[in-house]
Amino acid sequence: MPTFFADTYAIIELLKGSPPYRSYNDAVLVTTEFNLAEFAYAVTRDYPDAAQEICSKVRHGMRLYHPGDRDYLRASHLRRESALLGKKFSLIDCVGYSVAESLALPFLTGDREFEGMSGVEYVK
């Protein structure tokens, strides 16, 4: 079964049942607490009455990875370097990308800033 690091964008698209993401429904998905926090914000905004149930279901369907100092330092470097190239990565996105690299997993996202980058499974 394929395994991916799912960023917040991907998690939201999977929740919505977006057609381009349906092929990832059976994949093993890894993410961080940071991505789940971003996801919770979107869910409370879009589905306030079902937010608790949705967040719980998503949390239990994912494998959580706890980043360490190396991930944080690589993420900080990526964010600094990408800003010089005119890209606008959030620090959470950079942590996720760094974790995906550490785990040798494709970084699943539809965030256009990541399009064309090495190690990215870009799905729009």
Q: Give a yes or no: residue 11 inside a domain.
A: yes
Q: Give a yes or no: residue 73 inside a domain.
A: no
C-alpha pair distances (Å), 80 with each of 38, 76, 90, 91, 119 = 21, 6, 11, 10, 19
d(CA 48, CA 51): 5
Q: Give a yes or no: residue 82 inside a domain.
A: no
Q: Give a yes or no: residue 48 inside a domain.
A: yes
How confident is the model at residue 46, as a pLDDT? 95
How confident is the model at residue 100, as a pLDDT? 98
How confident is the model at residue 96, as a pLDDT? 98
- How many residues are recorded in the chain? 124
Question: What percentage of the chain exceeds 70 in pLDDT?
Answer: 100
pLDDT in tens, 49-105: 999 999 999 999 999 999 999 999 999 999 999 999 899 999 999 999 999 999 999
Range of the domain at 53: 3-66+104-122
In sequence order, the β-bridge partners of residue 104 are none
How confident is the prediction for the chain on average, in pLDDT?
97
Q: Give a yes or no: residue 72 inside a domain.
A: no
Q: Give a yes or no: residue 20 inside a domain.
A: yes
Q: Give a yes or no: residue 10 inside a domain.
A: yes
pTM to 2 decimals?
0.96
- Domain tally, the chain: 1
Question: What percentage of the chain exceeds 90 in pLDDT?
Answer: 97
Q: Give a yes or no: residue 108 inside a domain.
A: yes
Closest-CA residue to 33 (of 2, 69, 70, 8) = 8
pLDDT in tens, 7-57: 999 999 999 999 999 999 999 999 999 999 999 999 999 999 999 999 999
How confident is the model at residue 103, as a pLDDT? 98
